[in-house]
Amino acid sequence: MNNRFIKVLKGEAVDRPPVWMMRQAGRYLPDYMKLKARYSFFERIETPELATEITVMPVHQVGVDAAILFSDILVIPKVLGIDVELIPGKGPVLDWTVKSESEYKKLNGEDIISRMPTVEACIKMIKAELPDHIPLIGFVGSPWTVFCYMVQGKGSKDFSEAKSFAYNHPSLALKILDKITIATIEYLGHQIDSGVDVFQVFDSWGGLLDRKNYLQFSYPFIKRICDAFPDFPSIVFAKGGWHLLDDLNQLQCNALGLDWTISADYAKSKVSKDKVLQGNLDPSMLLSSDEILVQRTNEMIASFEGHPYVANLGHGILPNIPVEKAKLFIQTVKNYRYS
């Protein structure tokens, strides 16, 4: 496949970095908000025509170099048997939480793909719709991040209930993580078989753990996912994971995502050159003046020169970002040429 994104992930030289934005499909796009008003969250995810329209939207409207499947990390709790509802203004709320042996036993990890009947059709329709040079990114949540929601039951700044549950009941927590991991690997295998070109593991809440707990509750499960697909292009993003870079550098993945708190120099000193770095503009920078946005974007790319690199934000694009600013960010990266 002749495109910069896959080339960079495979270690080939390119004239400028490829660029996409985490959470680029939805949120800040007015045309997405129209679909959101008409269809429920899981209708949008599970209906091939809707998932395709939303996935392809940022490619045409903003000009990104890769598309990311419109879905969510919470399809895993849902397929394991916990209903997930999106409450406006509140975010996802799970119908029940897993905090006991009997609740663990209620999780149904059998034959999960039969309960995700439209994933293949969604991915095939998206691939047929995307221009040839735009790859499709599949994704999953890291088992720890999905566990956070399954124990806490909803979003949280600190996920203190999920963390304290893991600290107090490590053996049950590890069993839950194991069940999530098995389902996640099966689901990712299905995404790959259906046609995604690369995958990203979102460890959005890994950085809430100190290194010792990370090595117990998050790292081994991400490692199992990477080891299950050793030859497939892959990215691991651990938000807040500056203290984990030495460990993440050991993973069998092609790229590591960085949030905006990690400097390029620090990341370059920790991550070997055979791993691509991805990131890491502060999403709030897209609320700056055009002049500052262009300057900071160019400075960011320059700071990563000398290391294989994919330009991105340091976390998901914010809902209040004007589309024009997202376009300017993407165009600025596209105008850049390596010296």
Q: Looking at beta carbons only, is 17 or 138 nearer to ligand 1CP?
A: 138
Beta-carbon contacts of residue 42 (< 8 Å; ≥ 6 apart): 78, 84
Q: Looking at beta carbons only, is 33 or 292 nearer to ligand 1CP?
A: 33
Residue 216 C-beta: closest distance to ligand 1CP, Å: 21
- Answer for the pair 151, 98: CB distance below 8 angstroms, yes or no: yes
Residue 181 C-beta: closest distance to ligand 1CP, Å: 17
Q: Looking at beta carbons only, is 94 or 301 nearer to ligand 1CP?
A: 94
Residue 149 C-beta: closest distance to ligand 1CP, Å: 7
Q: Looking at beta carbons only, is 73 or 226 nearer to ligand 1CP?
A: 73
Q: Looking at beta carbons only, is 146 or 293 nearer to ligand 1CP?
A: 146
What are 158's two structure tokens?
A: 């600190």
For the CA atoms of 262, 266, 272, 274, the dihedral, rounded to the nearest 10 degrees, stands at 50
- In angstroms, the CA 148 to CA 156 distance is 9
Q: Looking at beta carbons only, is 11 or 91 nearer to ligand 1CP?
A: 91
Q: Length of the chain in residues, anyone?
A: 339
- In angstroms, the CA 233 to CA 252 distance is 10
The closest alpha carbon to 53, from 192, 39, 195, 194, belongs to 39
Residue 38 C-beta: closest distance to ligand 1CP, Å: 11
- Answer for the pair 21, 64: CB distance below 8 angstroms, yes or no: yes
Residue 293 C-beta: closest distance to ligand 1CP, Å: 20
Residue 196 C-beta: closest distance to ligand 1CP, Å: 12
Among all chains, which residue has been given the structure tokens 């979003």? 155
CB-based closest residue to ligand 1CP: 155
What are 270's two structure tokens?
A: 């920790």
Residue 67 C-beta: closest distance to ligand 1CP, Å: 9
Q: Looking at beta carbons only, is 45 or 101 nearer to ligand 1CP?
A: 45
Q: Given the rule CB under 6 A, which residues bind ligand 1CP?
A: 23-27, 36, 41, 68, 70-74, 86, 91-92, 139, 155, 202, 204, 316
Residue 21 C-beta: closest distance to ligand 1CP, Å: 8
Enclosing H/E stretch for 130: none
- In angstroms, the CA 337 to CA 310 distance is 13
DSSP β-ladder status, 255-257 and 67-68? unpaired
DSSP string, 276-307: EEEEEE-GGGGGS-HHHHHHHHHHHHHHHTTS
Q: Looking at beta carbons only, is 29 or 185 nearer to ligand 1CP?
A: 29
Question: Distance from first CA to last CA of the chain, Å, rounded?
Answer: 25
Q: What amino acid occupies position 288?
A: S
- Answer for the pair 236, 203: CB distance below 8 angstroms, yes or no: yes
What are 137's two structure tokens?
A: 């990114």
